[in-house]
């Protein structure tokens, strides 16, 4: 619940960001802006800036996927740290595909990136951001059929690796294993 003045102010703010008031993204953007204080919003903007994003990149990412501002600062940092420091990607990769920030690091990103790295090391895929982003966005059934199972002969342990990473995610989620290893 919010006052009518605050409601009107947020509606105008979201309109100024370029959202169409009759679109679903407008509603999600409204929810994102209204669910946090100005200070919390600014702190999240600062987190993105620490990773090299400009104000424009933050706004474009928010327009593409408003939920990227709903993620906690901790989640944003963990996802950025993984892609930039472990995968070696430029942070602008995430600015172009902000939906990735909303995915579970343990249940989707890490297991699929492990598969990606094996396929890349064996020369079965080429190193470009679109392939990785596409592999992360697709549903589980598609990923298994088009990425894991179709490379069964060239990379026989791929399904086993993927299942191990998923099992580890469950152990981490239930507190049975420390995330660091």
What is the model's pLDDT at position 176? 58
Predicted pLDDT at 172 = 66
What is the pLDDT at residue 126?
74
- The count of domains in the chain is 1
Cα distances (angstroms) measured from residue 48 to each of 95, 155, 156: 9, 36, 39
Q: Give pLDDT, residue 36.
A: 93
pLDDT at res. 129: 47
Decide if 23 is inside a domain.
no
Q: Residues of 126-138 as b/e, b for ≥16 C-beta within 10 angstroms? A: eeeeeebbebbee
Q: At what angle do helices 110-121 and 158-173 cross, to 10 degrees?
A: 160
In a domain, 129, yes or no: yes
Instruction: State which residues of the chain have pLDDT below 70.
Output: 1-2, 127-130, 172-181
pLDDT recorded at residue 3: 83
Q: How far apart are CA 10 and CA 16, in angstroms?
A: 10
pLDDT of residue 123: 86
Range of the domain at 181: 103-181
């Amino acid at each position: 619940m919010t006052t009518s003045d605050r409601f009107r102010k947020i509606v105008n703010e979201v309109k100024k960001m370029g959202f169409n008031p009759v679109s679903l993204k407008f509603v999600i953007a409204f929810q994102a802006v209204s669910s946090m204080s100005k200070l919390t919003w600014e702190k999240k903007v600062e987190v993105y800036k620490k990773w090299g994003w400009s104000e424009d990149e933050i706004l474009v990412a928010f327009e593409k996927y408003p939920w990227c501002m709903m993620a906690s600062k901790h989640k944003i940092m963990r996802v950025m740290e993984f892609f930039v420091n472990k995968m070696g990607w430029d942070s602008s990769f995430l600015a172009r595909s902000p939906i990735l920030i909303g995915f579970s690091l343990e249940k989707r990103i890490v297991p699929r990136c492990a598969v990606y790295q094996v396929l890349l090391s064996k020369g079965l895929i080429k190193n470009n951001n679109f392939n990785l982003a596409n592999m992360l966005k697709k549903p589980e059934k598609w990923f298994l059929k088009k990425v894991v199972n179709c490379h069964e002969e060239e990379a026989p342990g791929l399904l086993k690796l993927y299942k191990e990473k998923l099992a580890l995610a469950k152990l981490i989620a239930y507190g049975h294993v420390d995330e660091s290893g």
